[in-house]
Amino acid sequence: MAEPAYQRLDVDERRAQLLELGARLFTEHAYDELSMAQIAREAGISKALLYHYFPSKQAFFVATLERGATELVALTEPAADLPPAQALDQTLDGFLAWIEDHRETYLKVMRSSTGHAEVRELVEGVRAETAARLLDGLTGGEPPPPALRAAVRGWLWFMDGACQDWLEQEDLGRDEVRGLLLGTLAGAITASGHAELLAKLAE
């Protein structure tokens, strides 16, 4: 006989398994389409165990995204003290590369039919951090003028819009997208009335 009724796993192993499964399921189905019971069944465990590892469905969902988010933030974090132009280059390269490697995840997050505040805050958080970095590089730490701030924030939205088009239509090269993004940033800064700052991005 023997045949244990269930397989006992190490905490970290189990956690990792659940996160991986969750990441897969949540890119295949919308948040509301998945119940915790389904997820547990899929993982071959009981619902209670799933709740033993994650305090709520939301928390579980966010946790499945967090690895990607921290990875993305790390990838777009430029080496310290680089001049603004190179820092921007690095950030953009990191961003586009990550997106190309995680097409489905990126699109899913952008469209997330799951929507709860947490995801929005995650996305907005990344945008806010990137904007702060960019503005810092442009103004040298001074608080930015309103129009410039709006231009940069808008540009970060532009980035997501253009990237979605890129991934969905598949008729543009990464370099073209890069050029479009950089050129539009220059255009937005100019339109905000601070063309003099462009010199910093051309260094």
Partner DNA sequence: GAGTCTTGTTGACCGGCGGTCGACAGCGAC
Partner DNA sequence: GTCGCTGTCGACCGCCGGTCAACAAGACTC
Residues in contact with a second copy by the rule CB under 8 A: 30, 32, 110-117, 119-120, 123, 146-147, 149-151, 153-162, 164-166, 169, 171-172, 176-177, 179-184, 186-188, 190-193
Among 20, 24, 28, 35, binds DNA (CB under 7 A): 35
13 vs 175, beta carbon nearer a second copy? 175
d(CA 190, CA 80): 27
Kindly state the smallest distance separating residue 186's Cβ from a second copy, in Å: 6
Q: Exactly one of 16, 20, 30, 37 binds DNA (CB under 7 A); which one?
A: 37
Instruction: Confirm or reject binding of residue 36 to DNA (CB under 7 A).
Output: yes
Please tell me the distance from the alpha carbon of residue 91 to that of residue 158, in angstroms, as a whole number: 15
Question: CB of 96 within 8 A of CB of 153?
Answer: no
Neighbours of 105 (CB within 10 A): 21
Q: Are 48 and 56 in contact (CB under 8 A)?
A: no
Q: Identify which range of 50-58, 90-98, 104-112, 146-154 contacts DNA by CB under 7 A.
A: 50-58
Given 16, 56, 113, 191, the residue binding DNA (CB under 7 A): 56
Residue 189's nearest CA partner among 141, 140, 143, 138 is 138
Look-up of token digits 């051309």: 202
Q: Which is nearer to a second copy, 69 or 110 (CB)?
A: 110
For residue 20, give the amino acid letter: E
The residue (of 102 and 149) whose beta carbon lies closer to a second copy is 149
- Asked if 52 interacts with DNA (CB under 7 A), we say yes
Measure the CA–CA gap between 175 and 149, rounded to whole angstroms. Answer: 26
Nearer to DNA, 57 or 149 (CB): 57
d(CA 14, CA 20): 10
Could you say whether residue 8 binds DNA (CB under 7 A)? yes
Report DSSP state, residue 32.
Answer: G
Binding site for DNA (CB under 7 A): 4-11, 14, 34-38, 44-49, 51-52, 55-58
